[in-house]
A and B are shown apart, each in its own frame.
Chain A
Amino acid sequence: MGIVYLLIPLGLVLVGIGLWGFFWAVGNGQFDDLDSPGWSILKDDEPPPAPQGEDEAQERK
C-alpha cells in the first residue's frame, strides 16, 4: 500500500494543474459566453476584403 504515498500527492498535483488551467481559461474570457461560439461553425469564411467599400450598399440590396 506504500504506493498511495506517491499516488495521492501526484493526484493532488494533477488537480492543482487542472485548477490552474481552469483559472487561466476563466481569466482569459473562455467562459464569458458559452452559447454563441457553438454557432460560430455556421459562420462562413470572411468575405475577401478587396472589393468592399464601394459595394457595401449592393451587398445589402
Chain B
Amino acid sequence: MTRGGLPCFHCGEAIPPGTVIHARIHEREEAVCCHGCKAVAEFISGAGLEDYYTYRDAAAARADEAPRPDRWAAYDRPELVERLTRAEAAGARSITVLLEGMRCSACSWLADKAVRQQGGVLDVSVNPATARARLVWDPGRVRLGDLLRVLEHVGLRPHPLAGESAEQLAILERRTALKRLAVAGFGMMQVMMFAVPLYVGAYSGMEPDIRELLRLVSMLVSVPVALYAGWPFYVGAWQSLRARSISMDVPVSLGIVLAFSASVWNALRGRGQVYFDSVTMFVFFLSLGRYVEMIARHRAGSVADALARLAPVTARRLRAGVAEDVQAIELQSGDELLVRTGEVFAADGTVLEGEGRVDESMLTGEATAIAKAAGAAVHAGTHNLGAPLRVRVTAVADRTVLGGIVALLERAQSERPRLAKAADRAAAWFLSRILFGAAAVFAVWCFVDPSRAFSATLAVLVVTCPCALSLATPAAIAAATAALARRGVLVAHSDALEALSKATHVLWDKTGTLTRGLVRVEEVRMLAGRPAAECVGLAVALERMSEHPIAKAFLASGTTAETASDVQVLAGRGLEGVVGGRRLRIGSPAFAAGLSPGSAVPAGLDGESWVCLGAVEGLLAAFRLTDELRAEAPGCVGELARLGLSSEIASGDEAAAVARIAERSGIAQFAARLRPEEKLARLKALQASGAVVVAVGDGINDAPLLRGADVAVAMGRGSALAQTSADLILVRDSLDELPGTVALARRTQRVVRQNLTWSVLYNLAALPIAALDLVPPWLAAIGMSLSSVAVVANAMRLSHSPDDPRGRTWTTARPLEAA
C-alpha cells in the first residue's frame, strides 16, 4: 500500500512511502501525508471552505501536529484580553495577529471565511502581503481564544501582536512611498507627452513660442517629481555624507540635481537642451525599485514581530499555590511559573518540579528534545513537550538567552557591513568614471574654447548620469526582482543580487534547511522475523499515547486499528504498554530489551538514532529515526557546485547526524555542535580569506550568521527572526530555486554591465558629435530614445526566459485536476 511520490492533498509534499492516511473531503478519500494535514483538510472541508483548494496558487504549509486547543486558553479570560487588545466603538475589541503559514491569497480568503463563521465577529481584514489580520469582535458574543483556535484549525497559526505602532508605521511608510511613486509616474508620462512634440518639432519645425510653452510646462510638471518624489534620495544622500560615507543615494541625487537644474536653467533662458524626460524617468524607475524592495522588506517583518512569534504573550504564574494568567512582560525574577505540556516558556528559569522534555531546536538547532528534571535550566522561547513543569524565573525579557540573540542581531544590523560595502563600491565605480569623463571633457574644451568648457562639461554630466544610472541598473534590478518573485524568491535587499553573483561559498544550516526539520522513521530493521507492517502497527499503537516528537514520526509512518492499554511513559527512556494482549516496550535499545532479561542488544544500534520495539520474547524491530533530507538538497548542492560555489555545513546538531546529512547531500566540509557565535566566527574566517559567503538558514540560532553573511537566504517556513535577517527569502520553502537565483543574479550583473557599457559608449560617441554640430537634433533625439529603449529591453530579458538550470521542478499540488 505504498503511495510514495503522490503529493499530499493539503500541503503538496510527497507522501512518504508506507504512509496510508486519508482525509474525507467532499465524500472522497484524498491521500494526505500526516495526521496534522488530515485534521486541517477535514476541518476546512467540514466548515464548507473546500473552495480554498480550488483557488489557491501555492500549497499550504504542512501541518506538523494536530491543533492543541489549550494553547489559547489564556485568551479566553476577559481581563487579560482587555489588556492585550484595543477598544473599538460599541464595546468591541480589536487585535492584529500575525498569521504563520500564509502562502497565497487563497489563505487570506480562508482565514477571513473561517473567522467570520464564528458569530460575534464584526470585521476581519486579512492582508496576505504582510501576513497580518486585524480582527474586530464583540467580546459579549465570542471569545478571542475561539477566533485564534479556528485560525489554527485551518492551518494558519496566529501570533497576537501586542503593539500596533510598528504596523501603523509600516502602513504609513508604504502609503507615502506609493504617493511619491504616483507623482513620479504621472509626471513621467506627462513630460514624455510634451517631449515627443519637442523631438518631432526639432525635425519638422515648430513655432518658437509653442516650443517655449512645451519646455516651460515640462519644467512645471517636473518640479514636484524632482522635489517631492526625489526627496528620499536627497535625505539618504545627506545622511550618508554626514556619516562621511558615499551611498548609492549620493550619485543618484547628484544626477537628479545636476540634470534638473541644468534643464531649468536652459528652459528659463530659452536655449540649450532640456532633460526633463530623463529626470522624471530616472526618478520613477528608482522609486519603483525601492518600492518593490520595501514591500518585500515589510513582508519579511521586523525584529519586534519576530519576538512576538517566539515568546508567548501570556504566562501562568503560581502565587501561593494559585495559578493566574498574566502578561509575560509582568514577570519578574523569582516568580514561579507553571508551564504545561505543549506550552512555550515565557522566561528563562530553573525547573523546580516535574520531569519534562523540552524542544530547544529554535535555540540550538538540535532536533531531539532534551530531558529536564528539577534543577535544569530552561530558556524562553523553547517548547515544553513533556509533563507540566514548575519553573522558578531567573531572567526575563532582554536578559534571557533569546534576548541575547536578539541583541547580537541588532548589533550586527547596526554595523551593516555588506550593505554599505556593496553600495559603496557601486557608487565609487559610477562616480569615478563619470567625474573622470567630465574632467576630461573640461580639460579638452579648455584648450579648444574655454568659454564653452562649462556648458559642455555640464552636458556630459547631465546626459551620462541619468542615462547610465537611471536605466542601466534600476531597470535590470527591477526586472530581476520581479522575475524572482514569480519564482517564489523574495528579494528584501537588492544589493544582495550583486553579492550573490560574486558568491564563492555557501554556508548551510542543517536542521530545517538541508533537512525538513521533522523527525521521520527512515529505516525499519526486523529483528525477530515479523512482517514490517505488524511491527510498525504495534509501534504506532503505543506511540499514539505520547506527545513526543518521536511519536509524531511514528504516527506519520503508519496506522493501525489496534489500541494500547495500560501505557506508562518513562521519561527519557520510552513507553511501555499492552497491545493486543502482549506487553511491549518501545524506546532506547537497552530499555526495550529490558522486558526479556538476558536478550542482547544487537551491535550497531546506538541510542541516539535507533528506537527499538521489544516484547517478552526479545526485540522485535529497530527503527532508525532521522531528520529527513530535503529531496531537492543534493541536486541543489550539486548545481551550486557546478556554478562554482562550494558548500559547507555549520550546524548546532550532534556530529553523527551532521555527518550523515553532509554525506547524503554531497557536502564534504562540515562542522557540528556550533553555537550561534561560533557559526558567525566560521563565517568571518571564510570572509577573511576572501570568500563571498551565502548563508542559508531557517532558525533563530542562524539569525546572527545570516546578518553577518554577504548574502543571507532564509527558508519560507523558517523563523521570523531568520527572515528579518535575510536578503532573499525562499517563500516556497524549497531549495529548488536557489541555483536558478544565483544564475539570474549573474545574468543581472551581466545585463547591468552591458547596459552601462552601452550607455557610456553611446554617450561618448554621440555627445562629441552632437556638440560639434555634425548631427541634426532630430537624429540625436531619436538616438537618445532608442538608446533608452535598448537599455530597458535588455533589462527586460531578465524577466523572460527563466534559465533555471534544473527546469521547473517545484511540486505545487493541483489536487482537483488530478482527481
Contacts and interface: CB of A to CB of B under 8 A. Distances in A.
Contacts of B128: 33, 35-36
A61 B105 contact: no
A8 B197 CA distance: 13
Contacts of A32: 127, 171, 174-175
A12 B117 contact: no
Nearest to A61: B46
A34 B207 CA distance: 46
Contact of B175 (A11, A12, A26, A56): A26
Given A8-B214, A11-B190, A56-B142, 7 more contacts: A12-B220, A19-B183, A22-B182, A33-B128, A42-B51, A43-B113, A52-B141
Given A8-B217, A33-B129, A36-B128, A23 B113 contact: no
A20 to B, nearest CB: 11
Interface string B144-187: 00100010000000000000000000010011001100110010
B127 A33 contact: yes
Contacts, number: 90
A38 to B, nearest CB: 7
Contacts of A15: 186, 190, 221
Contact of A5 (B117, B120, B127, B213): B213
Contacts of A52: 119-120, 141
A22 B505 CA distance: 47
B785 interface: no
A33 B170 CA distance: 13
A19 B182 contact: yes
SS of B interface (majority): helix
B787 interface: no
Nearest to A51: B119
Contacts of B119: 49, 52-53, 56
B245 interface: no
Contacts of A42: 51, 55, 109
Interface in A1-47: 1, 4-5, 8, 11-12, 15, 18-19, 22-23, 26-27, 29, 31-36, 38-39, 42-43, 46-47
Given A33-B129, A56-B119, A26 B210 contact: no
A19 B186 contact: yes
Contacts of B183: 19
A36 B190 contact: no
Interface of B: 46-47, 51, 55, 105-106, 108-109, 112-113, 116-120, 125-129, 141-142, 146, 150, 171, 174-175, 178-179, 182-183, 186, 190, 207, 210, 213-214, 217, 220-221
B11 to A, nearest CB: 20
A5 B207 CA distance: 13
A52 to B, nearest CB: 3
A26 B126 CA distance: 18
B108 A36 contact: yes
B129 A31 contact: no
Given A27-B175, A32-B174, A59 B117 contact: yes
Closest 4 CB pairs of A and B: A52-B119, A39-B109, A36-B108, A33-B127
A8 B105 contact: no
B120 A36 contact: no
Contacts of B220: 12
A36 B127 contact: yes
A33 B732 CA distance: 21
A11 B751 CA distance: 38
Given A1-B210, A19-B182, A35 B105 contact: yes
A60 B128 CA distance: 24
Nearest to A47: B117
A31 B105 contact: no
Contact of A53 (B112, B141, B174, B207): B141
27 contacts: A1-B207, A4-B210, A12-B190, A12-B221, A15-B221, A18-B186, A23-B182, A26-B179, A27-B175, A31-B175, A33-B129, A35-B108, A36-B108, A36-B126, A39-B55, A39-B105, A39-B106, A39-B108, A42-B55, A46-B116, A47-B117, A52-B141, A53-B119, A53-B120, A56-B118, A56-B146, A60-B47
B410 to A, nearest CB: 28
B213 A8 contact: yes
Contact of A26 (B117, B118, B178): B178
Contacts of B47: 59-61
A14 to B, nearest CB: 10
A27 B178 CA distance: 10
Contacts of B55: 39, 42
Nearest to B149: A60
B178 A31 contact: yes
A10 to B, nearest CB: 12
A12 B105 contact: no
Nearest to B182: A22
A22 B183 CA distance: 10
Contacts of B150: 60
Nearest to B174: A32
Contacts of B214: 8
A11 B108 CA distance: 41
Given A1-B207, A19-B182, A34 B129 contact: yes
A11 B221 CA distance: 11
A34 B105 CA distance: 10
Contacts of B51: 42
Contacts of B217: 8, 12
A33 B128 CA distance: 8
Nearest to A57: B146
A1 B117 CA distance: 64
Identify the interface centre among B47, B108, B150: most chain A CB within 10 Å of its CB: B108
Nearest to A1: B210
A4 B197 CA distance: 12
A43 B112 contact: yes
A60 B117 contact: yes
Contacts of A12: 190, 217, 220-221
Nearest to B119: A52
A26 B113 CA distance: 26
Contacts of A34: 129
Contacts of B125: 33
A50 to B, nearest CB: 10
Identify the interface centre among A12, A39, A53, A59: most chain B CB within 10 Å of its CB: A39
B105 A38 contact: yes
A22 to B, nearest CB: 5
A35 B55 CA distance: 13
Given A36-B109, A36-B127, A60-B46, A23 B179 contact: yes
A15 to B, nearest CB: 6
A35 B190 CA distance: 29
Nearest to A5: B213
A18 B46 CA distance: 47
Contact of A43 (B109, B146, B190, B207): B109
A5 B47 CA distance: 64
A61 B117 CA distance: 12
Contacts of B109: 36, 39, 42-43
Nearest to B128: A35
A11 B46 CA distance: 56
B78 to A, nearest CB: 17
A41 B109 CA distance: 10
A27 to B, nearest CB: 7
